[in-house]
Chains A and B, each alone.
Chain A
Amino acid sequence: MAKMTLEELRKLREEKKQDLTRREVEGKEIQIVVGMGTCGIAAGAKQTFDAIVEQVNAAGLGDQVVIRQTGCMGLCYVEPTVEVAMPGMPNVLYGKMTKDVAKELVTKHLVEHKLLDDHIFDRPAADIMKK
């Protein structure tokens, strides 16, 4: 890609905005949170974050998805961890989400609305836990 100035970046954004057929995103927003504590970083969370940004945009969901970083989510043993919240799907905390799994996350969870069974590490529901 050719070198870009800040002014060109602004222009590019305006162009992309105009190109977009205005989709109704209200209430359909998908939220993805990547754990970026020391444990996450050591396990490759930075690469995971990059890969999710790339795959979400490649799938054409860029305007619908918000991606944030956070600290350690308490599951250091299965880093990188990624939390996904979207309408029509349960909130899931995925573990072992290396950059290679990012594509699967987008195609399966975000597009096909199927869970990635081997990567679910959410705490069990409170009502099935023994006190």
Chain B
Amino acid sequence: MHYGLGDYVLDITQNAVEAGSSEVAVELDESEEGFRVAIRDNGCGMTSEQRERALDPFYTDGKKHAKRKVGLGLPFLVEAIELAEGRWSLESSKGSGTKVEFFFPASNVDSPPAGDIPGLLLGLLCLPGNHEMLIRRSGPRGSYELKRSELSEAVGGLERASSLGLLKDYLDSVEYDE
């Protein structure tokens, strides 16, 4: 199992990016009730049979790693949510994309800590590829949106350490819309 909420978000978003998506949307919504996350992509999607098997930790399609026998991303997430009595849903259709949505209640001691959200945002934006990513974060202080292509252009790419340092400073201080 992962330690923090951000680890689950990064893990599932990486699946979305690796599904060959041209667009990935991540919503992070924090309230007094808890933390809701939605991750949508327009990648390869899954058939209903693949969808069921994706929840089995001892199943993987074998494409990413030839000899590996496990696929732990989604099973880890579902285990953590069930432990914390949260909610989750997984919608997918072959050829048009996948949506994973989940909620961890603030009242349950087993909900993972939110952790360093700007650090998470940096990790999400730096997932490799030419896709567009839209991130919307909302919470008690308001909300803001991030667009990967716009940020990449502003800091001069998302690979050089100097650019990533600037981006991290920005993410640490980004303004909320009231």
Contact = CB atoms under 8 A, between A and B. Distances in A.
Interface of A: 1-6, 9-10, 12-13, 16-17, 36-39, 41-42, 44, 46-47, 49-50, 52-54, 56-57, 61-72, 74
Interface string B139-152: 00000000000110
Interface residues of B, number: 43
B126 interface: yes
Contacts, number: 116
B58 to A, nearest CB: 14
B116 A50 contact: yes
Interface of B: 1-3, 6-7, 10-11, 14, 18, 64-65, 68, 72-73, 76, 116, 119-120, 122-123, 126-128, 150-151, 154-156, 159-166, 168-170, 172-175
A13 B155 contact: yes
A56 B73 contact: no
A69 to B, nearest CB: 6
B120 A61 contact: no
A17 B72 CA distance: 42
Given A9-B170, A13-B155, A13-B166, 15 more contacts: A1-B173, A4-B170, A6-B150, A6-B151, A13-B154, A36-B10, A37-B14, A38-B76, A41-B7, A42-B76, A44-B3, A54-B165, A56-B165, A66-B159, A69-B126
